[in-house]
Chain A
């Protein structure tokens, strides 16, 4: 890193404002990033950090303000301009063509050719391997992207930017999909790139990673610039309160669990996917009344199929699923509900809500056939409305009185509150929560965690599936690690070691 005395900025953004219609996404925001440093951009969901970076990368244009790259004022009209200025971006959702090889993905749009159009893949391949070795970005240049791990896909994305001569690298939420080990590797790679003089901006809301990797941190809250701090000078709690604008508790408060008998009992369950490949393999698991069992694992290790089998959305190939001793596998989805299993689904837009229906309608979407919400096939709208009003009040869904509004207009946090209210109101024996805090900000996350713990304290068996290991460690009483469709180990959450779990998630052996 260059000495602080003479500051050499790679990126300066001054007075940036951006409106989407009447909504002000960014209001007079500034950002100064020193050359060769790792600079974190911290803010809650919707704070405007991605918008700011999309402006830097030319995907959006700012309404006001100026951008200075390496001392030159620049007008970045589109990603092509940004690429020419040496700016590269790794998007949160990878921009990779899955059936293409690693090399093809890297060369796309900047192909080396002979006779004006015939691709010279071999030459590209050599160059890619050189780059890969230089920065320790291990990849297989001939593997298809659909066959490689998420960690390697991310390295391909970084190589894509470096291949285009990026000197300034923007990483949008780079750790969201990685295991703790992969996160360690990524931080190592970022350091190496910075030592080589590259400037790195990471967008994140994970405080621990900022402390571990970044030199400086700029905080944005609701589109307004708050501060830029030297990461060494602050602690995580200070960062959190700057981000949220109030004191927040980073740890979940809960009493010890008082587990009862096993309510959900899964025995030797095997589930195959639509292509006939076993995704869940002879999996056995018990969830007891009054406990939260967290399933830790990397995306795609059978979590989705396990939950879908419990919900009876896909058939179980072999094995049993028992709820209070009653078999429910290979029944209709409604039978799962009737057996007392409620689910907060992973994708609230796809499986949790009908976005264009009203809040009131969404509240009875599982129970509209039952008295008092309908009788003889006719809906009792008055009853549905008063039921909604009651739950809106009880669970603090905002805005108050939103019962007749379409759900689409609610914020993500309030949509999630609606689902939680609906599922908890079913008074189930088993409550399943899949990625319940995905896309929510710190305040809403606190609420969701509290709701899960309350459900536990009322004696429900809670099954939590999350890709966020921190969440699993904070909320669960016991942690089951899933790998390749089976539970490889179950640990008490108290005293569990994050690195050990990370290793198990990646298929490492038990100690």
Chain B
């Protein structure tokens, strides 16, 4: 029994890392006033870049960094469209969700002899073995550190104050000499990098290769966690733990002995996401300027 609990914790933390890192990206982006529905696409490109570089370099850390770079690069598209050209942020985000997987699959076929999945990486991201079935993924520790760091930057530094001001009342920030466009660019690219790390946490730690379905909805679950967590890093962190626990339950209960059909079980995380969104979206207070392109001089 006790070892079962430890196993559940282990699996929960493992699944939580990709969600947390991606959700932090969502928090940063939305607090600057830009809706980022493209987290999923950024995760996919991160998962691919992580697995691909991890395979060829045989170094998971190189893969992890490459994933952040890839996510950040894809995010530039979102920034150009939604900040510079003031496109509808939802449409731009949806586009990313097509570009991310499409590009990943294309590159995968290029680098892995036409296969739709990468070869397994020789080394995964390390795990800290804590005895028996209990272990903690380094990616989860990274997620904790990034959560603390994001919280600190948002609430204790001038960049955080400016970022939040831009998300609430961009015109006020503008009249005080804060460059709204620069802040939003930085936030979007940062969110892409975090989502990229999130993707790599999936392809380099949860599994050890890229497949077209390695990311299947985690980006959207992370978005739900942003809302459930009231747009705060710590709130999103806890929300992700809950969602990850649901995923862990699928693994734990799906192991043969259970009488519940595995198909139904695997719906659990998604059902929980929908339930949370239905129950909490109405009550959560989003950053006021979230989703509104900033037009200089418009009132």
Spell out A's residues near B (CB within 8 Å): 59-60, 78-80, 83, 89, 91, 93, 95-100, 104-105, 107-111, 113, 117-119, 160
Contacts and interface: CB of A to CB of B under 8 A. Distances in A.
B173 A108 contact: yes
B169 A98 contact: yes
Interface of B: 156-159, 161-162, 164-165, 168-169, 171-178, 288, 297, 299
Contact of B175 (A89, A99, A117): A89
B41 to A, nearest CB: 30
A121 B196 CA distance: 34
B171 A108 contact: no
A95 B177 contact: no
A104 B22 CA distance: 29
Given A96-B169, A109-B176, A117 B161 contact: no
Given A79-B175, A108-B173, A98 B162 contact: no
Task: State the 8 A-B residue pairs at the shortest beta-carbon distance, nearest first.
Answer: A109-B176, A95-B172, A111-B158, A80-B177, A117-B157, A97-B168, A97-B169, A97-B165
A96 B171 CA distance: 9
B177 A111 contact: no
A110 B162 CA distance: 10
B157 A119 contact: yes
A83 B161 contact: no
A113 B162 CA distance: 13
Nearest to B153: A117
Nearest to B287: A99
Q: Which of B156, B169, B172, B297 gathers the greatest number of chain A CB atoms within 10 Å?
A: B172
Contact of A108 (B157, B176, B288, B299): B176
Contacts of B175: 59, 79, 89, 91, 95
Contact of B161 (A78, A80, A119, A160): A119
A108 B178 contact: yes
Q: Which of A96, A108, A160 gathers the greatest number of chain B CB atoms within 10 Å?
A: A108
A99 B168 contact: yes
5 contacts: A78-B177, A96-B169, A100-B161, A107-B161, A119-B161
Contacts of B172: 95-97, 105, 108
B68 to A, nearest CB: 21
Nearest to A109: B176
Contacts of B164: 97, 99-100
A398 to B, nearest CB: 25
A306 B297 CA distance: 34
Nearest to A83: B177
A452 to B, nearest CB: 28
Given A93-B299, A111-B161, A100 B168 contact: yes
